[in-house]
Structure 1
């Protein structure tokens, strides 16, 4: 039994798999270990064990303010993206639109084009010449970045929903709008919630666009963390990074457990 187990572990395919796993989660484990260091500088291996840097994260005022900003952008931007994305996904799934593939490509462009280009474009052509506020530009950018995920995830739900259910409701006297809200929406709520979670996590952790559109008094948490590291190099950044990573993983795992998240993405 032991020899069989050993032979499977040293199998070349299994060795490659373990190397990939170590490569993927190794940096994360290093950051988690460094966040519990008792030393005063960010270093690995950690110098002893302490929770003081985890506690310190909750006492830094700039982190508190930027966390609220990131939460507002992530929640608000994702809700607006869903308000736009659900009807768009429904139209593409139920109607034979001209140039439908072109429309799909345009809708997906924010995730195809590098985020740094999106941020620079908004800064150069809206904020600077038009005088748009940084807050509004940042909100529009996050909404645009989340919109493709909303459309794609909801489209996957609609493609799995039989269209004759909706048609049956219309034949029985229900209006087209009523059929949408009474038949379609309840059956795709899992996809909508999955799209919200995916959009929220994407927006909250967004860096390139936020880097261009952050300004005095308006900074997201990832950008605030970058600025903090330019001045202070203590393990509090590692502690905050670990907390955010655990938060993101917890949200995704709960979504997979109760919504079947992997079916939509």
Structure 2
């Protein structure tokens, strides 16, 4: 009985630690006061509605969506062939390739952002938007390779070989047999990459410029001059969006099987 009570108590503390900040932000976003505070000063939805009226939030949201979608698609375009090669062929430097591909996860984002700013944007004059696209693609690539590789390893190779023996080319077997068989893993990799890219802060902080800001960076800049609950309202909306995406992915794809 004591052991069960202790386990329930520890679980409650852990859940409060994980969910508590989210509940505080949601409560602060519904405050009727003019300043960001907890506990809220009354209840109102005015700050939630104001989020949609702020032009900079709309522009930066569009930028974040574009980067997340295009960056994740580019990472998948690179990651799927890499995953196929690593799963199907015994390459002498396979583990080295996996380590290199995982480098954006291992290396702190601040270093990646500073390196891109120093060696691409400043000396070569790269467009900031294009530099952001490259950075987000590189940051999402490890997730694409890892998740798709897990699906590729679980796919029986003799199915593909049977298609080849029946007259299908290697490319045809890949497109008609392999790709449909791992579509769940590809969609899971896309969702994971999208959420990771959309919420990216350190790299985007270095590569943001006039008129080019992602939503998290725009929220930081907004807090420097204004301290109202609209940022809390936007944070709550983004959290609900991420939770909804992951919930739907788990419901229809079995997301936890791939991550």
- TM-score if structure 1 supplies the norm length? 0.96
Partner secondary structure for residue 11 of structure 1? helix
Count of aligned pairs? 259
Cα contact 1:201–1:248 (8 A) shared by 2? yes
State yes or no: 1:215 paired with 2:239: no
Cα contact 1:119–1:141 (8 A) shared by 2? yes
Q: Deviations over 1:40-74 (max 9, x none)?
A: 00000000000000000000000000000000000
Residue equivalent to 1:3: none
State yes or no: 1:29 paired with 2:32: no
Residue equivalent to 2:165: 171
Residue equivalent to 1:135: 129
Residue equivalent to 2:189: 195
Residue equivalent to 1:252: 246
Name the CA distance, whole Å, in 1 between partners of 2:105 and 2:225. 32
Residue equivalent to 1:109: 103
After TM superposition, the structure 1 = structure 2 runs for residues 1-265 of structure 1, keeping only pairs within 5 Å, are 7=1, 11-265=5-259
Name the CA distance, whole Å, in 1 between partners of 2:130 and 2:214. 13
Structure 1 position 9, deviation (Å): 9.4
Name the CA distance, whole Å, in 2 between partners of 1:53 and 1:132. 38
Cα contact 1:9–1:15 (8 A) shared by 2? no
Cα contact 1:8–1:14 (8 A) shared by 2? no
- TM-score if structure 2 supplies the norm length? 0.98
Could you tell me which runs of 5 or more consecutive residues in structure 1 were left unpaired when the two chains were aligned: 1-6
More moved, 50-59 vs 129-138: 129-138
Structure 1 position 14, deviation (Å): 1.6
Moved over 3 A (4+): 7-10
Closer, same or farther: CA 169–229 of 1 in aligned 2, 3 Å: same
Q: Deviations over 1:169-220 (max 9, x none)?
A: 1111111111001100000000000000000000000000000000001000
Name the CA distance, whole Å, in 2 between partners of 1:227 and 1:210. 13
Name the CA distance, whole Å, in 2 between partners of 1:239 and 1:86. 37
Name the CA distance, whole Å, in 1 between partners of 2:225 and 2:4. 46
Name the CA distance, whole Å, in 2 between partners of 1:10 and 1:231. 49
Could you tell me which runs of 5 or more consecutive residues in structure 2 were left unpaired when the two chains were aligned: none
Q: Deviations over 1:18-49 (max 9, x none)?
A: 10110011011000000000000000000000
